[in-house]
Structure 1
């Protein structure tokens, strides 16, 4: 194993050991699993393959970010007809804004952990190629 010091930074999750240190991949997998709904713990592709787990965590966060954005954007239109008080709506908007910030940090952390897992896997893991451009 070779340490990857560039991956550790302000967005590196504190629950995950530094890449290249003893047992870091286990701590990464545990942290990634904690980002998913509990029911996913039973799926063997996610428990046995760290890169599949990281990919799913990224997709899960992308969808959560979209859901919170929709909830934030529709608060003022959809909550008053439900009888929700203006003060509660304002608190809800602040809550969604804070959650978007948190989800953004988590998404950056997942990206860093994924990059470290890919680097650890070495050249045997094919990298995604850019799509070929068509000639006009």
Structure 2
């Protein structure tokens, strides 16, 4: 009988909940390369032109945290104000769809913000230890 295959990287308790699937766990081969690629996917493409961000992944994580945080705040503000600002412009079904879209986007961005925090911490040398 063949030996059981090892669990996929990062899914064996090595990374905290909320760790992005696209990023290998700290210490794995090329983990920082996968972290940098994932962080660049979260920010505007123009950020790739900044040499300082390529040179210092910790700084890229900071930029990504700021960018995702701003998007999250925008989604929250939109959710709070869309009913008042567009009440006369949208039919009820469009308003409900808009509210649902803001909720989904807010949840996606909140998860991304948590993941950026985790990856940024790992880039700074923080290590997560699971609790028993």
Query: Quick check: 1:37 aligned with 2:37?
Result: no
Query: Between Structure 1 and Structure 2, how many residues are aligned?
Result: 116
Give the 5 Å matches for 1:1-136: 8-81=15-88, 83-119=89-125
| Residue 63 to residue 7, structure 1, CA distance change in 2 (3 Å) | farther
CA–CA separation in structure 2 for the residues paired with 1:13 and 1:64: 18
In 2, are the aligned partners of 1:7 and 1:116 still within 8 Å (CA)? no
| Residue 67 to residue 90, structure 1, CA distance change in 2 (3 Å) | same
CA shift for structure 1 position 62: 1.0
CA–CA separation in structure 2 for the residues paired with 1:66 and 1:85: 25
TM-score calculated relative to the size of structure 2: 0.82
CA–CA separation in structure 1 for the residues paired with 2:68 and 2:105: 11
Higher relative helix content: 1
CA shift for structure 1 position 6: 6.9
| Residue 6 to residue 117, structure 1, CA distance change in 2 (3 Å) | farther
Q: Give the unaligned 5+ runs of structure 2.
A: 1-11, 127-132
CA–CA separation in structure 1 for the residues paired with 2:34 and 2:108: 20
CA shift for structure 1 position 7: 6.2
In 2, are the aligned partners of 1:50 and 1:117 still within 8 Å (CA)? yes
CA shift for structure 1 position 58: 0.5
TM-score calculated relative to the size of structure 1: 0.80
Q: Give the unaligned 5+ runs of structure 1.
A: 121-136
